[in-house]
Chain A
């Protein structure tokens, strides 16, 4: 079955602390993995995708095929990082996205 699991509904940290938002997936084949972010009162937007292997706003995510994980990390959280984060996957030949349940990140001053 195709599934994306985000075990944490809420993650609260203080400013400057490291952050790791967990994402595990189940997919028969080679999926493409994404992280989407939704700031308060804003639309869902792409944060990063595993094929780009880039760092956006200080966030990185490495695809671990052995552990079927795509955890999102940032070494020093900022208050403006507070948002809802969704992990998602798609198959190679499809535009359809399967979303996880999301993790709300709260960064306290």
Chain B
């Protein structure tokens, strides 16, 4: 089946640093990927839609300069949290759309980001 790999699975870093999270579709090409944020015991909140070869589309209220998204190839999208602060600590999940299959989105395992 379609697999989405997310890396790293857990990262701890100091306040002020930038953190990059990778989302890869392992056995299919994904022209569209999504980035979500999930707070403890809450639902997934869509942050942005990542389109291969073009700029990401951000949801209302999401700072595009804070959360940089790059979708340079059909199998890789990256989310960079710039100048991270403790309030950016969260669980970040990516998903990828495989148009050749019936399932709408395939999800990664998520990345737990902790900013000290």
Contact = CB atoms under 8 A, between A and B. Distances in A.
A97 B110 contact: no
Interface residues of B, number: 20
A102 B43 contact: yes
Interface residues of A, number: 20
B57 to A, nearest CB: 9
Contacts of B81: none
B105 A100 contact: no
Contact of A101 (B42, B103, B105): B42
Nearest to B103: A46
Q: Is the interface of B mostly helix, strand, loop or mixed?
A: loop
Interface of B: 4, 32, 34, 41-44, 46, 49, 93, 95, 97, 102-105, 107-110
Most buried by A among B41, B44, B49: B44
A95 interface: yes
A89 B34 CA distance: 15
B43 A43 contact: no
A44 B93 contact: yes
B55 to A, nearest CB: 16
Nearest to B6: A43
Interface of A: 9, 32, 34, 42-46, 49, 52, 86, 90, 95-102
Given A43-B110, A44-B107, A90-B104, A96 B43 contact: no
B77 to A, nearest CB: 14
A95 B43 contact: no
Given A95-B32, A96-B34, A96-B49, A46 B43 contact: no
B89 to A, nearest CB: 20
Contacts of B107: 43-45
Contacts of B97: 95
Nearest to A38: B107
A106 to B, nearest CB: 14
Contacts of B95: 44
A43 B104 contact: no
Contacts of B32: 95
Nearest to A46: B103
